[in-house]
Amino acid sequence: MNPTAAAQLNSLLAALILLTAFALVVQRRMNALLHIFAWQGFLLAVSTAIVGFVGGAHHLYISSFLTLGIKVILLPYILHLLIHKLKIRKEVDSVINVPTTMMIGIILVIYSYHLTAPIRELSTLVTRSTIAVALATFMLGFLMMITRKHAVAQIIGFLAMENGLLFAATSATYGMPLVVELGVALDLLIAAFIFGMFFFHISTTFDSLDVDQMARLKEED
């Protein structure tokens, strides 16, 4: 595969990742949300592998496998089990309605392009054009965490942010050093264990996973 073809393929994957990021922000149904999240992880894994192949950065294969194992198979599976067990089907409303969220999302994408302009100028890698998309994915995950009131949706937003970060690391620098990537994956696994426990605690204590009910702690007058 020659570099230009790889760069074009990577741009296509980046566009698809951005699409899934938008889909995550607006999707209301839990099951669909999980599927989109798994697809995003899959696209990310493929993109990482391609960059690893073209750039000759072979440690990216490991990173790609980790993404595939954790983000595409393990986490969606665990979340699926939890959703099934806690009987969650449709999600409660989000704070802002869909069209407004989309508008904010578009503004975030444009802003990401603006913010990453100096990086694109300095970078010499074939993947440099996708850095903005990576930052946009990160910010859209952030937006999702802010606008959703459901604990599971917030966690998916959090994981989407993590996807954006990995994508940024791959496209800006051919990935972080291997030891850092492994550590991040380890932290992610522990985090998965913790939010799994949390879902049980929250749903048994509050009878639902709507985080709006958690508003007891505030400054009283």
Partner 1 sequence: MYLLILLVIPLAASLILAIIGDRKYAPEVNIACSAVSCGASIVLGLQVYEQGPFLAWDNFFFVDAFSIYLSVLTAFVSMTTAIFSRRYMRREREHGTIGHRRMRFYHAMYQLFIFAMLLCLLTNNVGILWIAMELATLSTVLLVSLYRTPTSIEAAWKYFILCGVGISLALFGTVLLYFAAEKVLGPGGAALHWTNLAKVSSQLEPTILSLAFVFLVVGYGTKVGLVPMHNWLPDAHSEGPTPISAVLSGLLLNIALYALVRCKVLVDGSTGTHHSGNIMMGFGILSIMVASFSILRQKDIKRMFAYSSIEHMGIATFAFGLGGPVATFGALMHMLMHSLTKSAIFFTVGHASQMHRTQEMDKIRGLIRGNPLVGWGLALGCMAIVGMPPFGVFTSEFLILTATIKDAPLMAPFLLLGLTVTFAALFRKVQHMVAGEAPAYQIKLKAAHVPVVLHMALVLVLGLYLPKFLSGWFQAAVGVLK
Residues at the site binding partner 1, with contacts judged by CB under 8 A: 57, 115, 118-119, 122-123, 135, 138, 142, 145, 151, 154, 158, 161-162, 165, 168-169, 172-174, 176-180, 183-184, 186-187, 190-191, 194-195, 197-198, 201-202, 205-206, 211, 214-217, 219-221
**Which residues, 6+ apart, have CB-to-CB distance to 146 below 8 Å?**
95
69 versus 196: smaller Cβ distance to partner 1: 196
99 versus 217: smaller Cβ distance to partner 1: 217
Residue 100 CB, nearest approach to partner 1 (Å): 21
30 versus 160: smaller Cβ distance to partner 1: 160
Q: What are phi and psi of 208, to 5 degrees?
A: -165, 170
Residue 158 CB, nearest approach to partner 1 (Å): 6
Q: Give which of 78, 71, 82 is closest to 24, Cα–Cα.
A: 71
CB atoms within 10 A of CB 132: 24
User: Cα separation of 163 and 141, whole Å?
Assistant: 9
Bridge partners (DSSP) of residue 210 are 150
35 versus 104: smaller Cβ distance to partner 1: 104
Residue 159 CB, nearest approach to partner 1 (Å): 10
Residue 26 CB, nearest approach to partner 1 (Å): 20
Report the first-to-last Cα separation within the chain, whole angstroms: 66
Calculate the alpha carbon distances from 205 to 126, 200, 202, 210 in Å.
51, 8, 5, 12
**Which residues, 6+ apart, have CB-to-CB distance to 177 below 8 Å?**
59
Residue 127 CB, nearest approach to partner 1 (Å): 12
95 versus 180: smaller Cβ distance to partner 1: 180
